[in-house]
Every structure is written in C-alpha cells, then in structure tokens.
Amino acid sequence: MLGRVNHIAIAVPDLAAAISAYRDTLGAVVSAAQALPEHGVTVVFVELPNTKVELLEPLGEGSPITAFLEKSPAGGMHHICYEVADLLAARDQLVASGARVLGNGDPKIGAHGKPVLFLHPKDFFGTLIELEQV
C-alpha cells in the first residue's frame, strides 16, 4: 500500500524564522509560502534530493497546528506523508482493518494539489500519518 515518503512535516511557531534557518543556515532550496485555509496552515517545502520537509505554521483561528504548538511551543515533527497509488482503496482497506481516518473520511486537496487523508495518530504509535495519492 505505502509508496515512498513524500514529506515530513514540522510545525513551527514562526515560518519566516524557519525558512531562514533552512535556506540561509542549511543552504536548502525552500518553496514560496502557500496558504491552505481548508487545512488551517501556511506551508513551505524544503526540497531535498530524496524527499521534502514541509514547514507549517497556523493560519487563522482554530488551526489544528495551534494546539500542537501549545504543547510544543518550539515546534516539532507534526506528521509524515506517504504516497499511495489509490487513496480510496487505501482508505477502505485501512478502515476495514480498524484504522481511523480523521474528518469525515473524504479526501481533501493537499498542498501539492492532490487528494490527501490523515490517519489517527493513536492507531500508529503516536504518529499522525498523511496519505497522498500520486
């Protein structure tokens, strides 16, 4: 079911400072910021040869990242995103196996313009998992 790691997401309290650290200190290529109101975040992607790192900060009231940053004010790993060939088939197989899909179970469009779903972290050893159809 799982394909390659698409990205690892890090929640940050200050996106500009995080961009500077990755671009200026680490010498990485960082994408332009993208607001994703449906997900309540603003994101950038750090481009690496084998994957990406997504830096995300809260966008607007009620952002799911706000609660995460209240528990971890300096930021930290938020989720890992795996690619899947067929998101709906993966969802159905996971639900049949007892895994919980967050939200109503319908995919949303993610930062790459592709359908995504999130799986409950309690079902995967404390790790929030995002699945992205490729």
Q: Can you spell out the DSSP letters for 48-114? A: -SS-EEEEEEE-STT-HHHHHHHHSTT-EEEEEEEEES-HHHHHHHHHHTTPPBSTTS--EE-TTSS
Q: Identify whether 130 is a catalytic site residue.
A: yes
- Overall average pLDDT of the 105-127 stretch: 96
* pLDDT tier, 37 (very low <50, low <70, confident <90, very high otherwise): very high
Spatial distance between the Cα atoms of 8 and 6, rounded to a whole number of angstroms: 7
Q: 14 pLDDT exceeds 90?
A: yes
Q: Which CATH class is domain 5-133?
A: alpha beta
pLDDT in tens, 85-106: 999 999 999 999 999 999 999 9
Is 10:43 a contact under the CB 8 Å cutoff? no
Q: Domains of the chain: which residue ranges? A: 5-133
Active-site annotation holder among 54, 57, 130, 132: 130
Q: What local confidence, expressed as pLDDT, does residue 61 receive?
A: 85
Instruction: Report helix, strand or coil for 24.
Output: helix
